[in-house]
């Protein structure tokens, strides 16, 4: 595709998908990784897995980048980050289209996500010179104060569902706190992260401050997690891989932050505005073809409105626009890979075999989309809470509907999961909205809304959805460690032995 080639060239990547280390593209040393266009189902590029040798180079580059970054004043770091935000805005259309043509995400989504990347750099730019410590009124003659210090080199591992968004989401707070970054995006979608670091360096970030590894998880990713220079690991991805990585990091005595999956409950009471609840339920699970960690994949509906809401959603499923991701009208693009398509379909077939009913979708839409990894927006009802379709993350456009008869039952059903990433309630009863928001175990909860997020607000999981927080002030704190400094101020301090006090 000529457009994709031109865009790769515009970001210095034509025929050269490779790791970005210390400002240079460094070819991988491992096995060949093929990139498949999810719209056409064909291989469009291949690159060599970075491997441990390139990881070691990235770690060295990050140490140099860290020193250069620490050599700047906090205000200069903030200014550089602000300029990155500005540069991302200036190249928004190019970067969004690059993401669309290399990940299959609709352009309407990637434009919004790239805009959020700009906002992330701008928001954290303002924090660079406001990372304040405390003065503690200790009961001795000491001045005791705290400093918020960076860890050093942070390894970040990101998934394929929102590649450039996730890169910005993790890079911006990490560097605002003073760290250097070695980021390994999903092997399926490395291109937009490579483009982002190119933009950031052109805008003034020191080379080596942010390095991007093009490579596989078990080889390149693991080498980065277990490298001796790694000081913090931040993982965004599936629960199974997350626990592996946290274990590997712990054996390296390195802390980790995990942003994992979910099985979020979207609860609709009979008094809700059903027009809005219906639109909200569609956006919650079918946008992004359901490849969203916060997907509202369980719809809990109060019985009096169950039939009406299910019927509305069934009709809507047939009207959503699936198609070429670069077309502005397209609402739903393909699933990222054939393998993931097969996982989604297998889970739908298993639900059917367990007695659930496929009320809409549940198949490839066919027609002109035949070659791509498209999946029709799917509605599954007659679901029981213990079924896999109500318990496991599908990561596809599949909505499981279950009825409830009371507020207590709605909350119990919402909490009948190991996950705890997000959830929502639709009701006109203000008291009930707050009661349910308090009772559902989830890191993010919406009332009469779904999927609103902002860089200013903390985001993260409860339970098996992970730990630690990304975005907001809390992400900045997660990327710093506190040092306590004691200064003797007495003219004639008492000689101490053991703990002076
Ligand atoms: P994944 O776990 O397969 O991979 C995530 C990243 O980890 C990739 O870069 C991968 O190459 C790397 N990796 C895999 N094995 C590794 C290993 N042994 N050592 C080091 N790195 C390794 O996830 P995915 O399939 O790419 O993404 C989908 C998942 O991500 C879903 O579960 C989704 O819910 C989750 N997700 C969570 C959030 C959140 O913020 N909570 C956001 C987006 C996606």
- Decide whether any atom of ligand 1 lies within 6 Å of the 263 Cβ: no
Q: Is 152 in the same domain as 255?
A: yes
Q: Domain for residue 497, yes or no?
A: no
Check residue 464 and report its DSSP letter: G
For residue 443, the enclosing domain spans 265-447
Q: Domain for residue 499, yes or no?
A: no
Q: Is 242 in the same domain as 225?
A: yes
Q: Domain for residue 390, yes or no?
A: yes
User: pLDDT-derived band of residue 501, with 50, 70 and 90 as boundaries?
Assistant: low
* Closest residue CA from atom 10 of ligand 1: 217
What mean pLDDT is predicted for residues 443-466? Answer: 97
pLDDT 10s digits, 208-233: 999 999 999 999 999 999 999 999 99
- Decide whether any atom of ligand 1 lies within 6 Å of the 420 Cβ: no
Q: Domain for residue 79, yes or no?
A: yes
pLDDT 10s digits, 260-315: 999 999 999 999 999 999 999 999 999 999 999 999 999 999 999 999 999 999 99
Q: What pLDDT is recorded for position 78? A: 98
Give the atom of ligand 1 at the shortest distance from the alpha carbon of 162. 43
- Regarding beta strands 298-302 and 398-404, do their DSSP bridges make them parallel or antiparallel, or are they unpaired? parallel
| % of the chain surpassing 90 pLDDT | 97
Q: Domain for residue 44, yes or no?
A: yes
pLDDT 10s digits, 143-188: 999 999 999 999 999 999 999 999 999 999 999 999 999 999 999 9
Q: Is 128 a catalytic residue?
A: no
pLDDT 10s digits, 35-58: 999 999 999 999 999 999 999 999
Give the atom of ligand 1 at the shortest distance from the alpha carbon of 461. 41
Give the span between the Cα atoms of 249 and 431, in whole angstroms: 43
Output the CA 488–ligand 1 centroid distance in Å.
Answer: 48
What mean pLDDT is predicted for residues 405-421? Answer: 98
CATH of the domain at 407: 3.40.309.10
Output the CA 176–ligand 1 centroid distance in Å.
Answer: 24
Q: Domain for residue 466, yes or no?
A: yes
H helices present in 91-155, as ranges: 92-103, 107-127
User: pLDDT-derived band of residue 2, with 50, 70 and 90 as boundaries?
Assistant: confident
Mutate to test the pocket of ligand 1, among 234, 238, 443 (most ligand atoms within 8 A of CB): 238
CATH of the domain at 88: 3.40.605.10
- Decide whether any atom of ligand 1 lies within 6 Å of the 237 Cβ: yes
Residue of 259, 302, 393, 407 with catalytic role: 259
Q: Is 110 in the same domain as 35?
A: yes
Q: Is 39 in the same domain as 162?
A: yes
What mean pLDDT is predicted for residues 390-401? Answer: 98
Q: Is 284 in the same domain as 425?
A: yes
Q: What pLDDT is recorded for position 325? A: 97
Q: Domain for residue 496, yes or no?
A: no
The model carries a pTM of 0.97
Output the CA 236–ligand 1 centroid distance in Å.
Answer: 5
Q: Is 290 in the same domain as 221?
A: no
Q: Is 210 in the same domain as 311?
A: no
Output the CA 496–ligand 1 centroid distance in Å.
Answer: 52
Q: What pLDDT is recorded for position 145? A: 98
Q: Is 182 in the same domain as 126?
A: yes
Q: Is 50 in the same domain as 29?
A: yes
Residue found under tokens 């483009």 = 195
Check residue 219 and report its DSSP letter: I
358: Cα separation from own chain's centroid: 30
What mean pLDDT is predicted for residues 87-94? Answer: 98
Q: Is 324 in the same domain as 232?
A: no
Q: What pLDDT is recorded for position 500? A: 60
The number of domains in the chain is 2
Length of the chain: 501
Q: Is 190 in the same domain as 237?
A: yes
Q: Domain for residue 491, yes or no?
A: no
19, 28 Cβ separation under 8 angstroms:
yes
Output the CA 159–ligand 1 centroid distance in Å.
Answer: 4
Q: Is 252 in the same domain as 302?
A: no
Check residue 206 and report its DSSP letter: P
Helix/strand/coil (H, E, C) string of 451-470? CCCCCCCCECCCHHHEECCE
């Amino acid at each position: 595709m000529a457009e994709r080639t031109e865009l790769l060239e515009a970001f210095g990547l034509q025929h050269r998908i490779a790791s970005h280390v210390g400002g240079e593209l460094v070819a991988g040393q491992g096995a060949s990784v093929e990139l498949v266009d999810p719209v056409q189902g064909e291989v469009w590029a291949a690159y060599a897995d970075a491997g441990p040798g390139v990881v070691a180079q990235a770690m060295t580059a990050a140490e140099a980048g860290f020193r250069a970054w620490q050599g700047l004043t906090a205000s200069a770091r903030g200014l550089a980050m602000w300029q990155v935000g500005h540069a991302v805005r200036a190249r928004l259309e190019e970067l969004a289209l690059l993401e669309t043509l290399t990940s299959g995400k609709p352009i309407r989504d990637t434009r919004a996500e790239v805009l959020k990347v700009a906002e992330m750099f701008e928001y954290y730019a303002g924090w660079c010179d406001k990372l304040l410590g405390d003065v503690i009124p200790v009961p001795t003659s000491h001045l005791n104060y705290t400093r918020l210090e960076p860890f050093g080199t942070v390894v970040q591992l990101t998934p394929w569902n929102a590649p450039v968004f996730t890169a910005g989401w993790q890079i911006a707070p990490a560097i605002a706190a003073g760290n250097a970054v070695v980021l390994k995006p999903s092997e399926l979608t490395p291109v937009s992260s490579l483009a982002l670091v190119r933009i950031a360096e052109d805008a003034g970030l020191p080379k080596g401050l942010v390095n991007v590894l093009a490579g596989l998880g078990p080889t390149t990713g693991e080498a980065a997690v277990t490298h001796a220079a790694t000081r913090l690991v931040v993982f965004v991805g599936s629960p199974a891989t997350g626990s592996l990585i946290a274990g590997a990091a712990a054996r390296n005595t390195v802390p980790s932050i995990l942003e994992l999956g979910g099985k979020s409950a979207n609860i609709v009471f009979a008094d809700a505005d059903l027009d809005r609840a219906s639109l909200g339920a569609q956006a919650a699970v079918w946008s992004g073809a359901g490849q969203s960690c916060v997907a509202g994949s369980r719809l809990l509906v109060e019985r009096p409105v169950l039939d009406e809401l299910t019927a509305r959603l069934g009709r809507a499923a047939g009207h959503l626009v699936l198609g070429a991701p670069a077309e502005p009208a397209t609402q739903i693009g393909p699933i990222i890979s054939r393998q993931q398509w097969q996982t989604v379909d297998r889970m739908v077939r298993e639900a059917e075999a367990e007695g659930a009913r496929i009320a809409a979708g549940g198949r490839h839409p066919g027609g002109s989309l035949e070659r791509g990894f498209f999946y029709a927006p799917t509605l599954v009802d007659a679901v029981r809470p213990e079924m896999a379709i109500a318990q496991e993350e599908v990561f596809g456009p599949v909505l499981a509907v279950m009825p409830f008869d009371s507020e207590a039952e709605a909350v119990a059903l919402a909490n009948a999961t190991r996950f705890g990433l997000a959830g929502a309630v639709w009701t006109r009863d203000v008291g009930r909205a707050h009661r349910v928001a308090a009772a559902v175990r989830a890191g993010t909860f919406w009332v009469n809304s779904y999927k609103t997020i902002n860089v200013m607000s903390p985001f993260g999981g409860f339970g098996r959805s992970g730990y630690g927080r990304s975005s907001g002030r809390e992400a900045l704190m997660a990327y710093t460690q506190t040092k306590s400094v004691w200064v003797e101020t007495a003219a004639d301090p008492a000689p101490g032995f053991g703990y002076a006090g």
